[in-house]
Chains A and B, each alone.
Chain A
Amino acid sequence: MSALEEIEVRDGVDRETIETVQAMAGKYKHGWETDIEMEYAPKGLSEDIVRLISEKNGEPEWMLEWRLAAYRRWLQMEEPRWAMLNYPEIDYQDQYYYAKPKSMAAKPKSLDEVDPKLLATYEKLGIPLKEQMLLAGVEGSDEPRRVAVDAVFDSVSVGTTFKEELKKAGVIFCSISEAIKEHPELVKKYLGSVVPQSDNFFATLNSAVFSDGSFVYIPEGTRCPMELSTYFRINAENTGQFERTLIIADKGAYVSYLEGCTAPKRDTHQLHAAVVEIVILDDAEVKYSTVQNWYPGDEEGKGGIYNFVTKRADCRGARSKVMWTQVETGSAITWKYPSCILRGDDSQGEFYSIAIANNAQQADTGTKMIHLGKNTKSRIVSKGISAGRAQNTYRGLVTMHPKATNSRNYTQCDSLLIGDKCGAHTVPYIEVKNNSSRVEHEATTSKVDDDQLFYCRSRGMDEEEAVALVVNGFCKEVLQALPMEFAMEAQSLVAISLEGSVG
């Protein structure tokens, strides 16, 4: 056998991937903008703006007070600068905090009443807002899978599909603004219970000004009959997007939740500061998958989204489970650490991440696994890819409290470097305070394997295709954790994100 034949493309790269990669063309494909009349609140942030957002959403007094408390707190906080991110000072007064399509002034009662331009926007993104349709890219699968969508356009939710059917199962899936009005007892009980108003600078800002987002409640013993998803689209210029998502899985419930994000190409940076809170009670399970494809800015680092996100799941109940899966390919700046508080005995947290930073992108992302309960388990698999002049940092915390006996953590962090101008960094914190728990952390950094690239190229692929293929293999373990619809999108995103990274 010749040496060449012995070289194998990394495990898990299949024909399908090759074809997908080859089929992808063009750069950032969601960079177009929708020409639609918008209603803005005045630029800048003040108590009045907070009041206005609350009023526009028709919120009760308690919600306004909650927001104002957060705003006052935020004024005293300092923007964190510990991440390995380099960006100019953000002028928080030079942003719009509320933007809404004019056609949404009177909220449409059903999807049929939604502005066709908005529907077309999501259609173009491959997110059908018509029921009975599938997400793009999965035609031909054996069993049609239905996914309910809550579409958020700038500051507002434009519509939620499959609401009636979900209602029959007892599942509440609606915008958070609606939930505040319709289900105040649930919102009051759980909002801020995982990410408190004063949690961190960006979460506190979000608490003050969040305009919309999604709300999910899965009742006791219910398996959500379909996957739920939220699709975020930033369209308006100079507008920050601050959505808030709250998911509650009651005892024995199960839900798989998908989140997608895109934004038009713009020369200026736009701010995105979201909060996701998940509450998981006894024996319940939540899977949360994200494909983050905000506009990353151009090759020179002009434009792009500043993405400062706080996501946290509280495994409050015994035997509860959460699984975070994220594919972070977009944004100029990513600051994001989806975390698990493993409070219930025998609870489990998992974090699977692919973070790709190309050109001038900077990502500082990872997770926290806080083990508080007995026999808790966590697993972290992080794959970071750096190309161009990008900087990509994994930052994580695993902590085993004295009472979290017989717990386990396994962490694997791998970094891949493409080119000699980028950086890959690993900053894990490991805190073990009892001896019956076992913690294992492994990290590696290497470059794309030349033998693998050569093998691919000798089979007719150009360098970029070969890189995309090998990188997809490198990420396979995480891609496999995604629901099928997202796995396909993620694979092609990997290829697109790395365009221009070689040669």
Chain B
Amino acid sequence: MAVTQAKLDAASARLAALDVPAGGWMAAARKDAVARLQAMGLPGKRDEYWRYTDPTALTQVAATPAALFDASDEAPVFDGIDRVRLVFVDGVFDPAQSDDPAAAGVELLSRQGAEIHWAQGLYGVLETRGQTPVARPLAALNTAAATEGVLIRVTEKAAKPINLIYLHKSETSDAILHHCVKLEAGAELTLLENGPAAARFNKVLEVEVADGARFHHIRAQGRDHQRRAVTHIFARLGAESLFKSFTLTANGVLTRNEAVLELTGDDAVAHVAGAAVGDGDFLHDDTVFVTHAAERCESRQVFKKVLKNGAVGVFQGKILVKPGAQKTDGYQISQSLLLDEASQFLAKPELEIYADDVKCSHGSTSGAIDETALYYLRSRGVPLRQAQSLLVLAFLAEAIAEIEDETIAEDVRARLEAWLARHEG
């Protein structure tokens, strides 16, 4: 992709307007990220990788203000779970509302000194690896300018899930968070994230999953209508490790969730899934890049979207199987249910395969609710609204099934049902 002067200028303007933190052991990584960003520029509307999603709101110097949203009609997600709560208000850590991070073995990025730290091997490292073969400038921007984040290193099974709670209290907030999670061999951690975070949110999560380690990730992106977000997950998986990530997105004017997963150890398993529901001014983009670089690995991508009133769903998913990654099992499904004629689904599901003994498949469908199934349900006495809701949840079931914890899955289902009830007609 040609780097135009306009894209370089946009990067310079953005960097100039940011208060790039100085000092700490991250300084070198930040400097490197600034240089990389200045070489690649910010994404433009005509970039192939931004074919279906206009990045302007994410690249422009100032965040577009977003009205605050009252979501108190629902209990906060994950409320019923015994967990470590860490609260960020518009991207700033709030100790008053949080549990003690130190007690849970969590460090904060903003409190780092210059001394050698384990996270030096991670901060910006997976992000840099994830820049080829496709550039992800907004992630480089994040590495350069993140003001806060958590550093978590787990050596065994973590006692409790860690819950990062993002509150949005300022209409003009522009948050950049960067988290590093390192699971040593055999360790296990559940990371929960919820909330809109800010008017504009740029988040990077780098996860190193060592041999035999297990990482579970579940997030709910918050119901604020006007928020805009770009998130990246960069994960590297060791042998026999497990990575599972599920995202629930209800509302949000613009959401681009990128997941860049690299399976580098044999017999690793990576699942990434999402359920997104949107009504009206809503664009939701799942962009996934899974690289199989070892033998007998399994990857699954399951993305479902329910769209109405002009909502737009985007899916760009790729499975890359490198030479020698034999016995790969790669699966990818992206589906949209369009509840009215104004909605759109735009997809580019790709396979790039350089090993022969593989089983890879992808499927992509788009269509309206199945009228015959609807009629069948109604002929058995189920009222129209209930029948629709049942069919929409059935459509989303395969994605929700990726949540292992049944309590959370049930909660997600209930939230989706409530969303559907609110957005009837």
Chain B residues 366-398 with CB under 8 Å of chain A are 366-368
Q: Are B338 and A444 in contact (CB under 8 A)?
A: no
Q: Are B341 and A424 in contact (CB under 8 A)?
A: no
Q: Are A423 and B353 in contact (CB under 8 A)?
A: yes
Q: Which of B182-190, B215-223, B282-290, B356-364 contacts A (4 or more CB under 8 A)?
A: B356-364
Report the Cα distance A433→B362, complex, angstroms.
Answer: 21
Nearest opposing residue in chain B for A397, CB measure: B348
Instruction: Find chain A residues with CB under 8 A from B336 CB.
Output: 432
Chain A residues 439-467 with CB under 8 Å of chain B are 439-447
Q: Are B341 and A441 in contact (CB under 8 A)?
A: no
Contact with B along A411-451 (1 / 0, CB 8 A): 00001011111111111111111111111111111110000
Report the Cα distance A436→B366, complex, angstroms.
Answer: 9
Nearest opposing residue in chain A for B325, CB measure: A420
Instruction: Find chain B residues with CB under 8 A from A444 CB.
Output: 359-361
Q: Are A445 and B353 in contact (CB under 8 A)?
A: yes
Chain B residues 292-329 with CB under 8 Å of chain A are 323-324, 326
- Say whether, besides A430-B346, A432-B344, A445 and B360 are in contact (CB < 8 Å): yes
- Say whether, besides A417-B353, A431-B346, A432-B344, A438 and B365 are in contact (CB < 8 Å): yes
Report the Cα distance A341→B326, complex, angstroms.
Answer: 40
- Verify if A82 is at the interface (C-beta below 8 Å from B): yes
Instruction: Find chain A residues with CB under 8 A from B355 CB.
Output: 417, 420
Report the Cα distance A421→B348, complex, angstroms.
Answer: 26
Partner among B350, B359, B363 whose Cβ is within 8 Å of the Cβ of A446? B359
**Count of chain B residues near A, Cβ 8 A:** 35
Q: Are B361 and A432 in contact (CB under 8 A)?
A: no
Nearest opposing residue in chain A for B326, CB measure: A420
Q: How far is the CB of B47 from chain A (nearest CB, A)?
A: 12
Nearest opposing residue in chain A for B365, CB measure: A440
- Verify if B156 is at the interface (C-beta below 8 Å from A): no
Nearest opposing residue in chain B for A433, CB measure: B344
Instruction: Find chain A residues with CB under 8 A from B356 CB.
Output: 417-420, 422, 447
Instruction: Find chain A residues with CB under 8 A from B100 CB.
Output: none
Report the Cα distance A402→B343, complex, angstroms.
Answer: 9
Instruction: Find chain B residues with CB under 8 A from A440 CB.
Output: 363-365
Q: How far is the CB of B385 from chain A (nearest CB, A)?
A: 18
**Count of chain A residues near B, Cβ 8 A:** 36
Instruction: Find chain A residues with CB under 8 A from B353 CB.
Output: 415, 417, 423-425, 445
Instruction: Find chain B residues with CB under 8 A from A424 CB.
Output: 351, 353
Instruction: Find chain A residues with CB under 8 A from B368 CB.
Output: 435-436, 438
Report the Cα distance A444→B319, complex, angstroms.
Answer: 12
Q: Are A427 and B366 in contact (CB under 8 A)?
A: no
Instruction: Find chain B residues with CB under 8 A from A418 CB.
Output: 356
Main secondary structure of the interface of B (DSSP, over half): strand
- Verify if B347 is at the interface (C-beta below 8 Å from A): yes
Q: Are B345 and A430 in contact (CB under 8 A)?
A: yes
Q: How far is the CB of B143 from chain A (nearest CB, A)?
A: 29
Partner among A419, A428, A435 whose Cβ is within 8 Å of the Cβ of B341? A435
Report the Cα distance A442→B350, complex, angstroms.
Answer: 11
- Say whether, besides A405-B341, A420-B326, A436-B341, A442 and B348 are in contact (CB < 8 Å): no
Choose among B343, B351, B365 the residue with the greatest number of A CB atoms under 10 Å from its CB.
B351
- Verify if B94 is at the interface (C-beta below 8 Å from A): no
Nearest opposing residue in chain B for A393, CB measure: B352
Q: How far is the CB of B308 from chain A (nearest CB, A)?
A: 9
Q: Are A447 and B357 in contact (CB under 8 A)?
A: yes
Report the Cα distance A441→B349, complex, angstroms.
Answer: 9
Report the Cα distance A424→B354, complex, angstroms.
Answer: 7
Q: Are A430 and B341 in contact (CB under 8 A)?
A: no
Instruction: Find chain B residues with CB under 8 A from A441 CB.
Output: 347, 349, 362-365
- Verify if B99 is at the interface (C-beta below 8 Å from A): no
Report the Cα distance A427→B352, complex, angstroms.
Answer: 8
Nearest opposing residue in chain A for B323, CB measure: A420
- Say whether, besides A435-B339, A445-B353, A430 and B366 are in contact (CB < 8 Å): yes
Instruction: Find chain B residues with CB under 8 A from A422 CB.
Output: 354, 356
Q: Are A435 and B361 in contact (CB under 8 A)?
A: no
- Verify if B411 is at the interface (C-beta below 8 Å from A): no
Report the Cα distance A421→B324, complex, angstroms.
Answer: 9
Report the Cα distance A430→B351, complex, angstroms.
Answer: 14
Instruction: Find chain B residues with CB under 8 A from A435 CB.
Output: 338-341, 343, 367-368
Instruction: Find chain B residues with CB under 8 A from A436 CB.
Output: 341, 368
- Verify if B405 is at the interface (C-beta below 8 Å from A): no
Q: Are B48 and A434 in contact (CB under 8 A)?
A: no
Q: How far is the CB of A451 from chain B (nearest CB, A)?
A: 14
Q: How far is the CB of B4 from chain A (nearest CB, A)?
A: 14
Report the Cα distance A427→B318, complex, angstroms.
Answer: 9
Q: Are A445 and B358 in contact (CB under 8 A)?
A: yes
Q: How far is the CB of B423 from chain A (nearest CB, A)?
A: 15
- Say whether, besides A424-B353, A425-B351, A430 and B364 are in contact (CB < 8 Å): yes
Nearest opposing residue in chain A for B343, CB measure: A435
Report the Cα distance A434→B340, complex, angstroms.
Answer: 8
Partner among B324, B346, B351 whose Cβ is within 8 Å of the Cβ of A432? B346
Q: How far is the CB of B331 from chain A (nearest CB, A)?
A: 10
Instruction: Find chain B residues with CB under 8 A from A434 CB.
Output: 338, 341
| 5 cross-chain pairs, A with B, having the tightest CB-CB distances, nearest first | A435-B338, A417-B356, A438-B367, A432-B366, A426-B351
Binding site for A on B (CB under 8 A): 48, 323-324, 326, 336, 338-341, 343-368
13 more contacts with CB within 8 A, not counting A82-B48, A431-B345, A432-B345, are: A422-B356, A424-B351, A426-B350, A426-B351, A427-B350, A435-B339, A435-B367, A435-B368, A438-B368, A441-B349, A441-B363, A443-B362, A446-B358
* Cβ contacts A to B, 11 pairs, < 8 Å: A417-B356, A423-B354, A428-B350, A430-B349, A436-B368, A438-B365, A439-B364, A442-B363, A443-B361, A445-B361, A447-B356
Binding site for B on A (CB under 8 A): 82, 84, 402, 405, 415, 417-447
